[in-house]
Amino acid sequence: MSTERNSSRGRQGSNKSASRRTNNSQGSFKKRPSKFEKKAPAKPVKTDADGIRLNKYISNSGVCSRREADVLIAAGSAMVNGKVITEMGYKVQLTDEVRFDGALINPETKRYVLLNKPKNYITTMDDERGRKTVMELVHMATKERIYPVGRLDRNTTGLLLFTNDGELAKKLTHPKHNVRKLYHASLDRKFAVKDLQTLSEGEFMVEGKKVFIDDVAYVEGASKSEVGIEIHSGRNRIVRKIFDTLGYKVVKLDRVIFAGMTKKNIQRGHWRHLTEQEVSNLKMI
């Protein structure tokens, strides 16, 4: 009896093992990968070192969209290292000289940063004397290298634009484009009505040269020593020199409007990026 029971148990165990093998053969068992099996090679990561498609290069330079660039490339508007390129998909290196309609272009993303400048910062990239510069205030604004458009002297506060868009910077600093710059000047004494009328005539001589004054008025709600003056001249310290010529000392000077932009929501010493609409407005000047 004992032998038969043991034999029966053996047959049952054998049947169970066979059943497990059968189930495994039907897909329930997942094969573990061998450590000796070769892995599929990783796909190479594409970088700008492999070259940039010409249409992307043109688009990144701010000229137009990629789709528009394709049309203009086919029309022969693009040159790489002095050779006209009409091939779709042509790749360029960052070291190549790329021209579009004869003008040298750069694929770097264009940045536009507006700063509300405080006192005691000079408008320069660096200073040999170790004085504080405006670049210290905007160094976290963007990874691209940006530059101040025009200047504000050390003691003048207010709006200062930074960008790496060279064409726009030239436009905004050239007097012929009449870029509006409005200053709030605080004088050491009341500004006489006759002097206000003199500046209101529009032309004024400073150091033997004409300065065109677009508008001048007392600041509403303030004392007669507070004057708003609008000019488009880019001459150094020109507002201070205008009042100095009339015998007044400028105690405080603040640029409150530049090219239609105001200091709204920008605290002193802080900055913000321009909106797309603001950039479009500047390019339409």
Q: Report, as residue numbers or ranges, the catalytic residues.
A: 153
Give 213-262 as a 3 state SS string. Answer: EEEEEECCCCCCCEEEEEECCCCCCHHHHHHHHCCCCEEEEEEEEECCEE
Lookup: tokens for 127: 């200073």
| Residue 148 and residue 162 in contact, taking contact as beta carbons nearer than 8 Å | yes
Q: Which amino acid is at 33?
A: P
DSSP-derived letter for residue 123 is S
Mapping DSSP to helix (H, G, I), strand (E, B) and coil, where does residue 168 land? helix
Q: How far apart are CA 205 and CA 62, in angstroms?
A: 41
Q: Is 35 helix (H, G, I), strand (E, B) or coil?
A: coil
Q: Residues with Cβ < 8 Å from 42, sequence gap 6 or more? A: none
| b/e per residue 50-88 (b: at least 16 CB within 10 A) | eebbbbebbbbbbbbeeeebbebbeeebbbbeeeebeee
Euclidean distance between CA atoms 132 and 228, whole angstroms: 28
- Provide CB contacts within 8 A for 20, sequence distance 6+: none
Dihedral over Cα of 247, 199, 256, 149: its sign: negative
Q: CA-based Rg of the chain, rounded to a whole angstrom?
A: 35
